[in-house]
Amino acid sequence: MPRSDIQCDLMVIGAGMAGMASALFAANRGVTTVQVGMPGEIGFASGLLDLMGVHPVKEGRVWNNPWDAIDRLTRDIPEHPYARIGKNDIRQAVEEFTLFLAESGFPYHTYQDRNADVITPIGTIKKTYCVPENMWNGVKALNKRSSCLLIDFSGLKGFSARQIKETLHERWPELRTARVSFPDTSGEIYTEHMARQMEDRKVRQKLAQAVSPHLRGAQVVGLPAILGISRTREVISDFEKQLGVSVFEIPTMPPSVTGLRLRQIFEQQLPKRGVRTLFQQKVLGVRPAGTGEFKFNVGNHDNTLMVGAKGAILASGRFFGKGLHADGKRIRETIFGLPVYQPKDRTLWHCKDFLNPAGHAINLAGLETDDSFRPLDHFGCPAFKTLFAAGSILAHQDWMRMKCGSGLAIATAYIAVNSFLKQVS
């Protein structure tokens, strides 16, 4: 067995929401942790933390109370990962996760026992559980039907204040819109560039001067998510003072500033908590040791190192994260070669109707686990004593249509870390 360049208690494989949550929970419990993965996936996050929004998917039933939705879901689909987690553990996981974000300068708000209504960039209403502070004024304004001015920008594609107004006019008649030019720009503009520019107070002053003539009694102003990246609270507070009204952001199409903010927080804060991060690298191979530990070959084909770990959490995602790979015949797990729950035949992966409201059978593919979230082998037994799985790689869930992606990632990461501690204690 080759010598380890790095030795740790826990290897976290993946840098999406489940991987970041796993590394955080492990660090909070004093577990020496190495995390490997490509954090680009989290850049597609809206910033909203969904818990449970839609069930049954084929009926498109939308739930105001996510906890009631989870109760119904676990009765209907006992194989769903949520069915293996108590609601108290889900609450504790979300609270620990959002406390970390608040301590990192990015607080969240929630109604605790009901979902909030948030405006999407196309003007529809999305139900979600935890809303970042920079969007919360929009939740309150929608509830109160406050007089609101929506701002969009010349040269910014994918965001139209007029479209939002036209879509919402029956529910929110007190919406007005205005299009302005972003300071010192011309032609096509991008949200990341705008957000970085907004951290300059002179740019905020110029934008406030452009917006102010359009206020005309508006109580609140909504903009696309461009109000800073690393200093969002400071930017919003100053911009509100200059306008004299409350301000809120609306998430934009991915990849977005909201995801970039989360990525930056994790990349900066996890190492401060003791996590050894090997971002922009991947697991090239793994060798289980006779002692129950693992040896991971990490890096790229030109530069590699060996990481020894007592256990691992597989949070590598599905196809986008490359945790699963589909060829012409079957779906396979890419690192350990674990069996994947999937339709028996490739012809059954998809419905003939691409937009089938029930989704496609391939959406439920993934790893089956025991109650500790250890992936199962072909005989239905844990494949390894200290290997766990978390997030979208898990089977029997369709997180995108069920609107439970972040909640699923955070809660399963929480259980996986605690299960690892039980195994090695």
On the CB side of 348, CA atoms within 13 Å amount to 10
pLDDT reported for residue 247:
98
- Give the C-alpha separation, 144 to 142, whole Å: 5
Query: Bridge-partner residues for 131, per DSSP?
Result: 109
Please report the pLDDT score of residue 1 as a whole number: 44
Give the model confidence (pLDDT) of 312-368 as tens digits.
999 999 998 999 999 988 999 999 999 999 998 888 888 888 878 878 989 999 999
List of residues 6+ apart from 245 with CB closer than 8 A: 215, 218, 219, 220, 221
Q: Give the pLDDT confidence score for residue 350 in this predicted structure.
A: 87
User: In whole angstroms, what is the distance from residue 317 CA to residue 319 CA?
Assistant: 7
Using the CB atoms, write b or e for 182-193: b if 16+ within 10 Å: bbebeeebebee
pLDDT tens for residues 397-425?
A: 999 999 999 999 999 999 999 999 999 98
Same CATH fold assignment for domains 6-104+259-424 and 121-250: no
User: Looking at residue 289, what is its pLDDT?
Assistant: 82
For the chain, state the CA radius of gyration: 23
List, in order, residues 6 or more apart from 138 with CB less than 8 Å away. Answer: 118, 119, 220, 222, 248, 249, 250
- For domain 121-250, the CATH architecture is 3-Layer(aba) Sandwich (3.40)
Q: Which two tokens stand for residue 12?
A: 């976290």
Return the H-helix or E-strand segment holding 150.
strand 148-153
pLDDT at 3: 59
What three-state secondary structure class fits 374?
coil
For the CA atoms of 315, 319, 320, 321, what is the dihedral angle to 10 degrees? 20
**List of E strands, 170-229:** 175-180, 220-224
Is the Cβ–Cβ distance between 276 and 33 less than 8 Å? yes
How open is the CA angle 125-222-209, to the nearest 5 degrees? Answer: 165
Positions of the chain with pLDDT lower than 50, given as ranges: 1
Three-class SS state of 116: strand
**CA 236 to chain CA centroid, nearest Å:** 23
CA distance 196 to 355: 38
Q: Which residue ranges make up each domain of the chain?
A: 6-104+259-424, 121-250
What is the assigned CATH class of domain 6-104+259-424?
A: alpha beta
